[in-house]
Amino acid sequence: MAASKEQTKIILIGFIAIFCCSIFTDGDKIGVNYGMLGDNLPPADQVVTLINNNNIGKTRIFAANRDALNAFANSGIDVIVGVGNEELEAISSSQDSANGWVNNNIVPFYPATNIKYIAVGNEVLPSTQYVSYLFPAMTNIQTAVQNANLQNNIKVSTTHVMGVTNGFPPSQGVFGDDVKDTMNSILKFLSDNGAPYMANVYPYFSYTGSGGSITLDYALFKSTSTVVTDNGRSYTNLFDAMVDTVISAMENLGYPNVPIVITESGWPSAGADAATVENAQSYNNNLIQHILSNAGTPKRSGTSIETYIFALFNENTKTGDEIERHFGLFNADQSPAYSVNFSP
């Protein structure tokens, strides 16, 4: 029997509702960096609740903290687990050490905890004391992941500062001569294993270090017109230009198809020039909406960019410049540092 107009209308409305719900999946949600350098931070189980209550779908932890890994079990939150820089020497020199790291820090928690990536080291290149250990450690961790039969589910990579690249406009992006050989090995590794390049992208530091050549509106996603034109591509925000500089650098080494994950991006709310609550709120809200729109960048238009905001909390025991303690979206008591909308 043919459906009545009213029945057809109800069916159509139901289909639209299902479709609208389905297009916003966990894969479309923003991520956050969950640092633990504070003496007043909430326990991990409360952190998981905070993350879920704010519609955040992914998190990155900098070390294999067992309390956190247990707390994220069955939470629906994707997790990046870090291998500390201080662990690289031992792991790089011994497959047994790498096997032990994976067997102790990954195998007991997966799949209940949805570990998506292992980030081997943090910002090792271009000039830390750990450079010589990085690539051997990555290959040993990859072998350990394969030994655990997890290579199809957990990808191995490492995070990089923007300082490993140079060049302007974005299409002229290249890796520096001091890292090019190592980066070529890393990119082949990523390509062979289906893993992403991980970039820490901070328009804040580019803006404050530009000597006035970059406008604040361009850094905060507030420009209303094209600021940079490059081979027919138009850039209205600094974030896209920085990401495309990395993509160009990968292309120039012969790896145009390696995906990119932005493992850190954020703006401090205090402690230095332009580090204000207003600017931090503008940057992070605009970044979230840009990412959740799935607009991509001019070089990879329409491609979703997996992104993790730095950071979840203001961490009061972090060392370094004052701003390092003021990147948090939340205070230690879980109150918002400022208003942020985590949904599109």
Q: What ranges do the domains of the chain cover? A: 29-325
CA nearest neighbour of 168 among 232, 251, 249, 225: 249
User: Which residue, among 118, 115, 297, has the nearest Cα to 193 in the 3D structure?
Assistant: 118
Through-space distance between the first and last CA atoms of the chain, rounded to whole angstroms: 41
Q: Are 269 and 237 in contact (CB under 8 A)?
A: no
> Do the Cβ atoms of 127 and 154 come closer than 8 Å?
no
When the candidates are 3.20.20.80, 3.40.30.10, 3.30.950.10, 3.40.50.300, the CATH number that belongs to 29-325 is 3.20.20.80
pLDDT profile of the chain (344 residues), mean per 10: 38 35 55 98 99 98 99 99 99 99 99 99 98 99 99 99 98 98 99 99 98 98 98 98 99 99 99 98 99 98 97 98 98 98 93
pLDDT at residue 27, as a whole number:
55
Q: Which residue has the tokens 């530091």?
A: 205
Question: Taking a C-beta distance cutoff of 8 angstroms, is the pair 40, 337 a contact?
Answer: no
Q: How far is CA 323 from CA 72, 227, 242, 314, in A?
A: 29, 28, 21, 10
Provide the sign of the torsion angle of the four alpha carbons 280, 286, 289, 293, taken in this order: negative
What is the structure's pLDDT at 18?
Answer: 35
**pTM surpassing 0.85?**
yes
CA distance 255 to 70: 37
Give the active site residue among 87, 89, 123, 306.
123
Residue 264 is a catalytic residue: yes
User: H-helix or E-strand containing 175?
Assistant: strand 174-175
Is 324 known to be catalytic? no
User: CA dist 236 to 208, 225, 290, Å?
Assistant: 18, 6, 12
Counts of helices then strands in the chain (DSSP H, E): 11, 12
AA identity, residue 289: Q
- Choose among 184, 187, 195, 85: nearest CA to 131: 85
**Measured between alpha carbons, how far is 234 from 241 in angstroms, rounded to an integer?**
9
Helix, strand and coil percent figures for the chain, each rounded to 5: 40, 15, 45
| Catalytic-role residue among 6, 86, 89, 264 | 264
Please give the torsion angle defined by the CA atoms of residues 263, 53, 150 and 135, in that order, rounded to the nearest 10 degrees: 20
Looking up tokens 């159509």, which residue turns up?
12
Q: Smallest Cα–Cα separation from 195: which of 150, 228, 241?
A: 150
